[in-house]
A = this chain, B = another copy of it.
Amino acid sequence: MGVEFEREDYQFLTELGLAPENLGCYGGGVWRANGPTVTSINPSDNEPIATVREASLEDYEDSMKACADARRMWMLTPAPKRGEIVRQIGDGLRAKLPLLGKLVSLEMGKILPEGIGEVQEFIDMCDYAVGLSRQLSGSIIPSERPNHAMMEVWNPLGIVGVITAFNFPCAVLGWNACIALVCGNCVVWKGAPTTPLVTLATTRIIAEVFERNKLPGGIFTCVCGGAEIGSAIAHDARIPLVSFTGSTKVGMLVQSIVHARHGKVLLELSGNNAIIVMDDAVLPLAIRAVLFAAVGTAGQRCTTCRRLIVHEKVYDDMLEGLLKAYKQVKVGNSVEGDTLCGPLHSKLSMSGFTEGIKK
């Protein structure tokens, strides 16, 4: 494969370990991929960035075997030593913060400060989890029986599956993986099919830490793929906990599959938030709050403000203020410095948005 990007503005991707063509599965410490090839599209110009070969079900199975093999060793690693690994992951992310943040912006379409902010969230999670690694305390509880006490100790689950969505292609892994790892769990990650480059670049940073510390690569597994891989994770009895971020519809499906095999789920699903503006509101503050809540991430967050309920006494002023504020929002290429609103993530998002407006 060629390793040079033709477009000059993509050459920073090589510093993240990416190439025009990439393998989309990291399992047992080995990069591989035998599934279909997908192309990552730049939502700012609808041009391809690079291609990623996704994992086949055989790749998934091979990776999961290595992951299951690594479980016992990782569970028995002292929690503070697991914390030290997570600390190094944080340092790895720090070293690549501007580059990885720019890739998040490039591939997802959110503006550059948001892309960098997302990686910073992951770094903050690492710090938090390192501290937790010395605080995962069990309890010794008084018993009503003489000379007895009860003990409650937290044990790792073994493997945590993490399925993330396109709108936070990096941070959501951080929330889940940092805690899962310090708690003694291996992690299997499936990122969104439309943000595979963020998935791979993030995985490279994490993999490098495990490799440098001579730990089994199976502790962190990454499997690029679509619904077929997601379904494999949901059905896989080796994965006692599946964390899913995405639509309510798919989340409910994942939940019922995982529960049917007595697994646990963590669900981060859709939202439909309203902001209520009362007649005694401080309007400049309210306008800025609404603007940020509605326009941030081009409205593609679960916490996006979708409805605005305004008291009639301030309706006209609020509307006028918002119109003025919206006019100042520069829409444009996500990675450009003065853009305040980037593109919608995909043609699907765009048609959904257009349909929604029509209604």
Q: Check A138 for interface membership: any CB of B closer than 8 A.
A: yes
A129 to B142, CA, bound (A): 14
A54 to chain B, nearest CB (A): 30
Give A125-177 interface residues, CB cut-off 8 Å to B.
127-149, 151-153
Does A256 count as interface, using CB distance less than 8 angstroms?
yes
Question: A328 to B266, alpha carbons, bound, how many Å?
Answer: 50
A144 touches B78 (CB 8 A): yes
Closest to A150 in B: B137
Contacts of A79 in B (CB 8 A): 142, 144
Q: Size of chain A's interface in residues, with CB distance under 8 A? A: 41
Give A122 Cβ to nearest chain B Cβ, in Å.
14
A252 at the interface (CB under 8 A from B): yes
Give this chain's copy count.
4
Which of chain B's residues have a CB closer than 8 A to the CB of A306?
none
- From the candidates B84, B135, B139, name the one contacting A137 in the complex (CB within 8 A): B139
User: Which of A127, A133, A260: most chain B CB closer than 10 A?
Assistant: A127
From the candidates B128, B132, B151, B256, name the one contacting A140 in the complex (CB within 8 A). B151
CA distance A327 to B24 in the complex (A): 60
Q: Which residues of the other chain, B, contact A78 by a CB distance below 8 angstroms?
A: 142-146, 148
Q: Cβ of A80 and Cβ of B142 under 8 Å apart?
A: yes
Give A182 to B26 CA distance when docked, in angstroms: 38
Residues of B with C-beta under 8 A to A259 = 252, 255-256, 259
| A–B Cβ pairs within 8 angstroms, 24 of them | A76-B146, A76-B147, A78-B145, A78-B148, A79-B142, A80-B124, A80-B142, A84-B127, A127-B131, A128-B131, A130-B130, A131-B131, A131-B133, A131-B134, A134-B141, A134-B142, A135-B142, A136-B142, A137-B142, A138-B140, A139-B139, A252-B259, A256-B259, A256-B260
